[in-house]
Amino acid sequence: MLERLNQALDHLEACLDGEVDMAEVARIAAVSEYHFRRLFSALAGMPLPVYVRRRRMTLAGAEVLAGEPTLLDVAVRYGYGSGEAFARAFRSVHGIGPSEARRTGAVLTAQPRMSFRVVVEGSTTMRYRIVEKESFRVVGRKARVPLVHDGVNAAATAHVESLDEQTVVRMKELADGEPQGVLSAAVYLTGSREEGAEADYWVGVVTGPDAVAEELDALDVPAGTWAVFDNHGPYPSALQQLWRDVFTQWFPSNLYTTRPGPELLRTQPVEIGAETDSQLWIPVVRDSGNAGA
């Protein structure tokens, strides 16, 4: 799997001075374009379009400083139809416009070419099962929060603390299905998992697809396949590590890809740093393109 990912990145690199066909890049990686974007974001820590822009501006920056082609020629070569659009992209990466950079010989920012490799530590095991689940509904309260990769997510914590006892009791009365009890659900608004990217964060319970609770928000979830991971460790660091391991280790070595849907987490609330048991549900689909991997 990692070999195919690196082949895909090689192809992407060769297309930086032209049109990048992301569907073809994903085909080389033997995954869907949707999964390639999410997998890249999880592995690289940045969205794929951001990486492409940074790599293009790294190459363009070298040509700008070389002083030979015109700035418009450089802009067109790297896919920009106007000097203004090129200047905006250039400034977003380098913090300076191309004209000023050429005139002053400014110090620019370089995005190194990326490749993926396996680091074998031999200390991490992942307990999981595959579950086929009928359609269901999550009822509860939602808030929009930024992603936090390490440490406490203050916005998510504030949302949990804002729930009054009556609301929690009502949710527990409606609970009917697995995963059981009060849980959280994350619905990502884009394919990005970059620090600070936004997600809809739900606190609620699983109910039948026809459950009605007008005083609560409702999220309908279609039938599908789920990968369920059991976890034990200090809160919240063990959970954050589990999420990273799922996308950087489990997916590349298993015949599944992610599919659209909420990621569900059931955990026992504890003090920061205390040990707790958790269960993470990731919506997946079997990837026939990797059957021969």
String of DSSP letters for the chain: -HHHHHHHHHHHHHTTTS---HHHHHHHHTS-HHHHHHHHHHHHSS-HHHHHHHHHHHHHHHHHHH--S-HHHHHHHTT-SSHHHHHHHHHHHHSS-HHHHHHHT------PPP-------S----EEEEEEE--EEEEEEEEEEE--SSS--HHHHHHHHT--HHHHHHHHHH--SSSPSSEEEEEESSS---TT-EEEEEEEEEE-TT---TTSEEEEE-SEEEEEEEEEEETTHHHHHHHHHIIIIIGGGSSEEE-SSPEEEEE----TT-EEEEEEEEEEEE-GGGTT-
Residue with tokens 């990731």: 282
Q: What is the pLDDT of residue 113?
A: 84
Q: Look at residue 120 and tell me whether its pLDDT is greater than 70.
A: no
d(CA 199, CA 79): 31
Tens digits of per-residue pLDDT, 71-83? 999 999 888 888 8
Bigger pLDDT: 95 or 290? 95
Instruction: Read off the pLDDT band of 38 (50, 70, 90).
Output: confident
Q: Look at residue 263 and tell me whether its pLDDT is greater than 50.
A: yes
Instruction: Read off the pLDDT band of 118 (50, 70, 90).
Output: low
Q: What is the pLDDT of residue 123?
A: 44
Cα angle for residues 218, 224, 229 (degrees, 5° grid): 90
Q: In the chain, what are the domain boundaries?
A: 2-104, 127-290
Beta-sheet pairing, 127-133 with 256-258: unpaired
d(CA 203, CA 181): 11
Question: What distance separates the 2 farthest-apart alpha carbons in the chain?
Answer: 71
Distances (CA, A) of 271 to 65, 152, 180, 268, 274: 53, 11, 22, 10, 5
The encoded tokens of residue 129 equal 């099962």
Which residue(s) pair with 138 in the sheet?
206, 219
- Residue 179: cis peptide before it, omega within 30 degrees of 0: yes
- The answer to whether 281 and 162 are in contact (CB under 8 A) is no
Q: What is the pLDDT of residue 276?
A: 84
Instruction: Read off the pLDDT band of 122 (50, 70, 90).
Output: very low
> Which residue type does 3 have?
E
Q: Look at residue 291 and tell me whether its pLDDT is greater than 60.
A: no
For domain 2-104, give the CATH number.
Answer: 1.10.10.60
**pTM of the entire predicted model:** 0.59
Handedness of CA 169, 173, 174, 179 (dihedral sign): positive
Other Cβ atoms within 10 Å of 92 Cβ, number: 12
d(CA 150, CA 236): 8
127-290: CATH class: alpha beta
Tens digits of per-residue pLDDT, 173-230? 999 988 988 999 999 877 666 777 788 999 999 999 988 888 899 999 999 999 898 8
* Arithmetic mean of pLDDT, 3-22: 89
* Arithmetic mean of pLDDT, 128-146: 91
Same fold, 2-104 and 127-290: no
